Structures are given as C-alpha cells and as structure tokens.
Amino acid sequence: MKLSHAPLRLSTGAFILNSGVSKLQDRSHAPHIHKLASETYPQLANVQPEQFQVMLGAGETALGAALLLPIVPARTAGLGLGLFSAGLLGMYVSQERFRRGASDPRPSQEGTALAKDVWMLGIALSLMIDGSSKGKRRSKSRADRRSARKAHSG
C-alpha cells in the first residue's frame, strides 16, 4: 500500500467497518434501513428487513476490512468503495426528499447524511485512478527493460 493511500484507506475503512459491525450487532433499525433502501431499489422489497441488514452489515464489514488491509490493491479497494458509494448516492439522487427541490442538487436536512457520502466516491476514484496508473507505469517499465535487453544482446 502506498503511504499516500494510508490516510484515505484507514479513515474510510475504519468508518465503514464500524458501520458494518454496528449493523450486525444491533438490528433494531432494520425496518427503517430496509424501507429506505427498497424505496430506491424496489428489488430489495422482497428481502426481509433483518436479512437485508445482516447482508448490508456483512458487506460493509468486508469492504471496511478490504480498505484496511494493505494486501488488497488500491484499484480493487477503490472499486468496492466506488460501488458502495454509488449505491448510497443513488438513493440521494432518486428521492427528491433528500434534496432541496427537483432542480436543486443541494441536500435537504434529511439528505445531508447521504449527500456527505460523496467524499467516499472521491476517495474511490482516487484509489482506482492511482491503482490504474501504477499498473501502466509497471507495464511500461517492463517493456522498457525488454527493449533494453534486446538492444544490449543484439
């Protein structure tokens, strides 16, 4: 893990891991969480609220751990975080009550909790971009080494 990724991955990973563990330990909010998610993603309506919360908690726990573990590549951790944050922001965008109005993207009081998750999307994109460029640099240097060997031996 690059040192510059550590603050992003540690803070976000710890936050998400804590959220996941909390959902697994306390299921009293399952009906509310399920209702909120199924309003945006109707296919979730067929899942029982407590089962949904367990799946969400397990997913958040796994994502938080992936962000915290340095062996998980930045691109992979960023992709997971990007998908997760896109799901949360999907709820924000699709439900007008979370915004000040249909044409106003700024959050309402109720929408602030979801709108703030845009920072996770920014972190995800940074990890994916940096992870992708690292692979390109590595590939290019291998190609350069092969060319150098050919030139030296030929």
Reported as a single tens digit per residue, the pLDDT across 118-141 is 999 999 999 999 877 755 555 455
- Average model confidence (pLDDT) for the chain? 89
pLDDT digit string (tens) for 89-106? 999 989 899 999 888 889
Residue 130 structure tokens: 């940096």
Cα 87 from Cα 55, distance rounded (Å): 14
Question: Whole-angstrom Cα distance, residue 7 to residue 25?
Answer: 27
For residue 2, the model assigns a pLDDT of: 85
Task: Name beta bridge partners: 99.
Answer: 107
